[in-house]
């Protein structure tokens, strides 16, 4: 009979733009960074993560919670950010439920949205869902802008107090280093304590 406490889990969902508006070289660098991140996360006892893309009529699961492999990413047609975000949120919810049934404690999941910018219309339905999940403590999400322009875009559709965090062209490695620091910080905290994000967390690779 097993009396040992189950390993707690942190679930992370990355929702990434790979539509025609994304610069090919930048998307390639991002996918390479995801593959390197996958290698570094292998064997980490608390982390499970997924990568979804939104470039087609059906959002693609490029890496699932059950797989360590990042599949090829191909861009086409119209970006459907809202549908991808809702799909990611549902998959997080389902995975949380499965882990809890197995006896694991699950930290509040994270969702990182990476795009070159999007409109209120694209996120209207998803924003209501995300806001509700975040207020209930079921999810934490951060929107990141992948663009060469050093301008800030307020996302009224997501949260009146949030901005997209702009990743500098050379800042992709910094983004993943940031995520890994946050994972380490989460692992060191008690289950009922949330990870705090500060402006200084993004220094050197992003603009607020």
Give the per-residue pLDDT at 150: 39
What counts of helices (H) and strands (E) characterise the chain?
A: 4, 7
Residue of 6, 51, 4 whose CA lies nearest to 191:
6
Give the per-residue pLDDT at 176: 94
pTM to 2 decimals? 0.86
Give the per-residue pLDDT at 149: 52
Split the chain (208 residues) into runs of 10 and give each run's mean pLDDT. Answer: 68 87 78 93 94 75 86 56 86 95 94 77 75 89 71 40 72 92 91 81 81
What is the tens place of the pLDDT at every residue in 112-134? 988 876 655 666 777 888 889 98
Tokens of 160: 């009146």
Give the per-residue pLDDT at 104: 93
Give the per-residue pLDDT at 81: 78
What is the tens place of the pLDDT at every residue in 87-97? 899 999 999 99
Give the per-residue pLDDT at 38: 95
**Structural domains of the chain, with CATH:** 10-207 (3.40.50.410)
What are the C-alpha distances in Å from 6 to residues 99, 182, 199?
10, 22, 34
């Amino acid at each position: 009979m097993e009396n040992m406490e189950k390993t707690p889990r942190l679930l992370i969902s990355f929702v990434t733009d790979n539509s025609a508006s994304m610069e090919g070289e930048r998307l390639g660098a991002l996918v390479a960074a995801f593959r390197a991140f996958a290698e570094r996360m292998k064997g980490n006892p608390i982390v499970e993560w997924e990568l979804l893309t939104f470039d087609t009529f059906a959002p693609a699961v490029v890496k699932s919670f059950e797989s360590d492999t990042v599949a090829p990413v191909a861009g086409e047609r119209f970006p459907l950010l809202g549908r991808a975000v809702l799909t990611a949120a549902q998959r997080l919810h389902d995975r949380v439920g499965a882990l809890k049934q197995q006896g694991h404690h699950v930290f509040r999941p994270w969702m990182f949205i990476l795009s070159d910018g999007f409109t209120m219309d694209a996120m209207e339905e998803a924003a209501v869902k995300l806001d509700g999940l975040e207020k209930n403590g079921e999810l934490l999400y951060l929107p990141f802008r992948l663009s060469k322009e050093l301008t800030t875009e307020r996302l009224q559709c997501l949260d009146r107090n949030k901005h997209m965090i702009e990743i500098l062209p050379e800042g992709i490695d910094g983004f993943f280093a940031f995520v890994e620091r946050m994972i380490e910080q989460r692992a060191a905290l008690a289950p009922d304590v949330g990870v705090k994000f500060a402006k200084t967390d993004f220094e050197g690779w992003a603009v607020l």
